[in-house]
């Protein structure tokens, strides 16, 4: 649901045979299986720790869990596909076995890792590169027929800070999505979610400009995921570090909801779920909100 929007966005996806209704915004919890992700508290490389985090996030109201085993913070160390898979697949298997109703998203730009994770029990592919870093990704998504999160980024995690140049950031990102989605649609990929890629080859100023114009992406009629949780664009403005950025994250997530976000990708699920509830109540009114599908 988005207020004042005349575009007919696609607001459901089929994930593992389950129809997920995005007319009410959903929350995706981040579980990093890495030793060096930018927010230290999100690092859960041990299976036992990842299982505990998964349980916590599901109990707090997460619809999706996003598992990543390759750190994509600026300047992060590059690792092999084998190392990424070795970190990821045992955790996917463990969560899929212990939480059979959990909807698992896999944060990877490698087709081979994505396919192995889907075979292990995952349901979505979340690709920071939009298919640019592995030419086999689009074909793999089409063959597997799983939902695909198409993010905007230029360059690689190692050099993306050098690529934050745009003629017009909103129009450049919109054109990117339009072209990539046209290719996916021609390959019969049915469920595509777009992610503007805040913090990826974008300065803080560019990120806020993109946020201010984000409702314009509704012309693509696709669900929108926003991932701004605890990022530098927040604490660079408010002070401190990522550890101090929860309040700013909640504020910006709420703004993202007003701009048409359908999924919030976050480190802190409880706070994001509360933001969705309060935002919906403010838009629909409490009595109307109670009538919405959960």
Q: What separation in angstroms does the CA of 56 have from each of 91, 119, 227, 241?
A: 15, 25, 20, 24
Q: Give strand pairing partners of 126.
A: 107, 149
For residue 44, what pLDDT is reported?
67
DSSP reduced 3-state for 242: helix
- Each residue's pLDDT tens digit, 109-162: 999 999 999 999 999 999 999 999 999 999 999 999 999 999 999 877 777 888
Alpha helices in the chain (DSSP H): 47-60, 81-98, 111-120, 137-144, 169-186, 204-212, 232-238, 246-258, 269-284, 286-289
Can you tell me the distance from the alpha carbon of 22 to that of 252, in angstroms, rounded to the nearest whole number?
Answer: 19
Contacts of residue 25, Cβ cutoff 8 Å, sequence gap at least 6: 1, 257, 261, 262, 263, 264, 276, 279, 280
Tokens of 8: 């007919």
Single pTM value for the model: 0.91
List per-residue pLDDT tens for the chain, 294 residues long.
444 455 689 899 999 899 999 999 999 999 999 876 655 566 666 899 999 999 999 999 999 999 999 987 766 678 899 999 999 999 999 999 999 999 999 999 999 999 999 999 999 999 999 999 999 999 999 999 999 999 999 877 777 888 889 999 999 999 999 999 999 999 999 999 999 999 999 999 999 999 999 999 999 999 999 999 999 999 999 999 999 999 999 999 999 999 999 999 999 999 999 999 999 999 877 655 555 554
Residues catalogued as catalytic: 231, 265
Q: Domains of the chain, with CATH numbers?
A: 24-289 (3.20.20.20)
Contact yes or no for 109/137 (Cβ under 8 A): yes
For residue 37, what pLDDT is reported?
61
For residue 3, what pLDDT is reported?
43
Nearest partner of 83 among 95, 71, 96, judged by Cα? 71
Tokens of 19: 């129809």
For residue 285, what pLDDT is reported?
75
């Amino acid at each position: 649901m988005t207020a004042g929007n005349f575009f007919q966005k696609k607001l459901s996806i089929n994930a593992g045979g389950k129809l997920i209704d995005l007319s009410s915004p959903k929350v995706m919890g981040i579980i990093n299986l890495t030793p060096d992700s930018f927010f230290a508290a999100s690092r859960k490389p041990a299976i036992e720790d990842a299982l505990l985090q998964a349980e916590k996030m599901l109990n707090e109201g997460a619809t999706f869990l996003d598992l990543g085993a390759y750190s994509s913070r600026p300047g992060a160390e590059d690792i092999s596909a084998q190392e990424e898979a070795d970190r990821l697949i045992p955790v996917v298997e463990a969560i899929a076995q212990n939480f059979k109703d959990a909807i698992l998203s896999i944060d990877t730009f490698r087709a081979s890792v994505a396919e192995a994770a889907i075979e292990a029990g995952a349901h979505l592919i979340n690709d920071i590169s939009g298919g640019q870093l592995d030419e086999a990704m689009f074909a793999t998504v089409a063959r597997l027929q799983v939902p695909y999160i198409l993010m905007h980024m230029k360059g690689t995690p190692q050099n993306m800070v050098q690529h934050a140049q745009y003629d017009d950031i909103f129009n450049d990102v919109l054109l990117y999505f339009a072209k990539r989605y046209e290719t996916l649609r021609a390959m019969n990929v049915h469920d595509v979610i777009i992610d503007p890629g805040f913090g990826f080859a974008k300065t803080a100023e560019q990120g806020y400009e993109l946020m201010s114009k984000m409702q314009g992406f509704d012309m693509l009629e696709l669900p929108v995921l926003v991932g701004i949780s605890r990022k530098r664009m927040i604490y660079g403005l408010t002070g401190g570090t990522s550890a101090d950025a929860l309040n700013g994250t909640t504020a910006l997530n709420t703004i993202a909801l007003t701009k048409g976000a359908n999924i919030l990708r976050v480190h802190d699920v409880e706070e994001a779920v509360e933001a969705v509830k309060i935002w919906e109540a403010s838009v629909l009114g409490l009595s109307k909100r109670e009538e919405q599908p959960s």
